[in-house]
Amino acid sequence: MQTIGQQLINGLSLGSIYALLALGYTMVYGIIKLINFAHGDIYMLGAFWGYYVINVLHFSFIAAMLSAMLFCALVGVIIEYCAYRPLRHSPRITALITAIGVSFLLENGMSYLFTANTRSFPQVIKTVTYHLGSLQISNVQLLILGTACGLMLLLELIIKKTTMGKAMRAVAVDPTAAQLVGINLNHTISFTFALGSAMAGAAGVLIGLYYNSIDPLMGMTPGIKAFVAAVIGGIGSVPGASLGGFIIGILETAVQAIGLSAYKDAVVYLVLIVILLVMPAGIFGKNVKEKV
């Protein structure tokens, strides 16, 4: 019972990172039907930004995270403008390959500029471990969970309550019709990329603090797993992405806890395939009937 509770706490902290990343995937996919392979690398950029502003400019943790979010939002918008916008009317597979190209460019560009070495993230917040009965929870874990949940709520509010959010939902349903009622497609898509990338930036700084090590290739695997999380939750759905992230995080820690850590990724993919077979559009996804 005690280990289950402990693993649940660990799983939730890891899961909230996946959830933050999955939100970016799900929003971008929902609006332009693109698997943004470069999303994991934006998360890596966020972690590196945090590393530099804390080490060089001596930012506090909050300032580092907020500036990383701003920086990543900017990068996301630039990537969309330069690489994806010219391809909006091309076959989707072309845009996918471009996204892979952008991902390679960010990974190798960062390796070239800052070497591929792993570096340790500055520990701006001293780790304190609290004991709740027999359970242990560190302040970093609480911070991750709290920030992630706060950001998810904020995102949900932006999407549900603001005009821009309404525009995003409209474009996701039907881009042409959205344009007809006066929505600026380019602005809406840029805004979506900015929001998603900001979430990834926050996740990058948080993971730096949690795992204490960053390197230019750190975005690859979490990126793919976060995408899996988005698919499990039902791609295009914001609550689905959060739920999917938590499912993946808990699943991974659970498999590790029962001593099958070599197979933890395999179990994640197996669950993905099973969920897709039972619910082809994910847990919260809408199943679109094809009309003749």
Partner 1 sequence: MRTRLKANLVWAGLMIFGFILIDGLEFAGIINTFIENMLVTIGINVILAIGLNLIIGFSGQFSLGHAGFMAIGAYATGIITPTITTIGGFYLSMFIGVIIAIIAALIVGIPTLRLRGDYLAIATMGAAEIIRLLINNLKITNGAAGIFNIPALASWATVYVIMCITTIMTVNFIHSRSGRAIMAIREDEIAAEAMGLNTTRWKLAAFVFGAATAAVGGSLHAAYIQTIAPSDFNIMASIAILIIVVLGGVGSITGTFVAAIVLGALDTILQNFGTLRMIIYSLALILIMIFKPAGLLGTWELSFKRFNRQEVADHE
- Selected binder of partner 1 within 104, 120, 174, 184 (CB under 8 A): 104
DSSP-based three-state secondary structure for 138: strand
C-alpha closest to that of 11 among 207, 123, 128, 145 = 145
Tokens 């909006």 correspond to 88
56 near partner 1, judged by CB under 8 A: no
Instruction: Classify 131 in phi/psi space as left (phi over 0), alpha (psi -120 to 50) or beta.
Output: beta
CB of 285: closest distance to partner 1 in angstroms?
Answer: 9
CB of 262: closest distance to partner 1 in angstroms?
Answer: 5
C-alpha closest to that of 206 among 68, 27, 37, 55 = 68
Residues whose CB falls within 8 Å of the CB of residue 276, separated by 6 or more in sequence, listed in order: 231, 282
Q: Which of residues 26-55 bind partner 1 (CB under 8 A)?
A: 29, 33, 35
The Cα angle at residue 10 between residues 9 and 11, in degrees rounded to 5: 90
Report the residue number, 68 or 102, with the smaller CB distance to partner 1. 102
77 near partner 1, judged by CB under 8 A: no
83 near partner 1, judged by CB under 8 A: yes
C-alpha closest to that of 200 among 275, 239, 240, 148 = 148
Structural contact between residues 46 and 219, judged by C-beta atoms closer than 8 angstroms: no
d(CA 41, CA 197): 10
292 near partner 1, judged by CB under 8 A: yes
φ/ψ (deg, to 5) at 228: -60, -40
Binding pattern to partner 1, positions 197-236, x when CB under 8 A? ---------------------------x--xx--x---x-
d(CA 55, CA 202): 17
130 near partner 1, judged by CB under 8 A: no
Stretch of residues binding partner 1 (CB under 8 A), selected from 16-24, 96-104, 136-144, 162-170: 96-104
d(CA 96, CA 209): 31
98 near partner 1, judged by CB under 8 A: yes
CB of 140: closest distance to partner 1 in angstroms?
Answer: 29
CB of 228: closest distance to partner 1 in angstroms?
Answer: 7
- Selected binder of partner 1 within 6, 55, 111, 136 (CB under 8 A): 111
87 near partner 1, judged by CB under 8 A: yes
Binding pattern to partner 1, positions 269-288, x when CB under 8 A? xx-xx--xx--xx-------
Q: Which residues bind partner 1 (CB under 8 A)?
A: 29, 33, 35, 83, 86-87, 90-91, 93-98, 100-102, 104-105, 107-109, 111-112, 224, 227-228, 231, 235, 262-263, 265-266, 269-270, 272-273, 276-277, 280-281, 290, 292
